[in-house]
Amino acid sequence: MDIKKTLSNISNGQPTPGGGAVGWLVWGQGTGLLRMVSNLTLKSKKWLEGHAISDSIITQTTGFEDIAIRGYNEDCKAYDTVVEAYRMDKEEQGRINAIQSASLLAAEIPLDLVSKVHDVSLLHADLRTKYNKNAHSDFMSSKHLLATSAIIGAYNVKANLPEISDLDRHAIASKLYDMMNEIENMLSITLDWSGP
């Protein structure tokens, strides 16, 4: 993924890639920095107490780059599917079902992002007192990138909830609420995601 081209695509005034897709890249950056801190912790005997969790972080987050890029692309496709559903003739019999199905997918992808943030935040919390302190700014940057990606994911889930069935809406909202509260606790940070 070419960084300059990606930034240009984000800024070109098209609906995609938008905030949801960007959230996946932010998660990737937060995860990447946590891995960096873990690798730096593993390189020093001074931080021996953090070696086991650092090794676990490296193992459990292997392949994060592909996950972030896949999420980025899936988010763009999901939004395009919602747009296509809304463009259907208003008299067409399957339009409402198409909108609900597309909106459900468009809510599930950022919910998966929040789930990924949740998983990495748990690892982040486990390393909190055991990492190489020479990488403190990187550790804190990771924390705030993870928090930001959770907020982005939450807003994108909420944007798609009105068009899905009550049963799915309540299940997704409940799962989102639980994960966001746990992320706040794990990262020791307040997440502003209530919004409209």
Long-range contacts of 175-179 (CB under 8 A, 24+ apart): 175/111, 176/111, 176/114, 179/114, 179/115, 179/117, 179/118, 179/150
Q: How many residues are given for the chain?
A: 196
Q: How many angstroms separate the CA atoms of 15 and 159, rounded? A: 14
pLDDT digits (tens, 9 = 90+) for 69-111: 999 999 999 999 999 999 999 998 999 999 999 999 999 999 9
Domains and CATH numbers, the chain: 19-187 (1.20.120.680)
pLDDT digits (tens, 9 = 90+) for 14-43: 888 999 999 999 999 999 999 999 999 999
Full-prediction pTM beyond 0.85? yes
Lowest mean pLDDT among 8-17, 70-79, 117-126, 147-156: 8-17
Structure tokens at 42: 């593993």
DSSP string, 39-58: HHHHT-GGGGGGHHHHHHHH
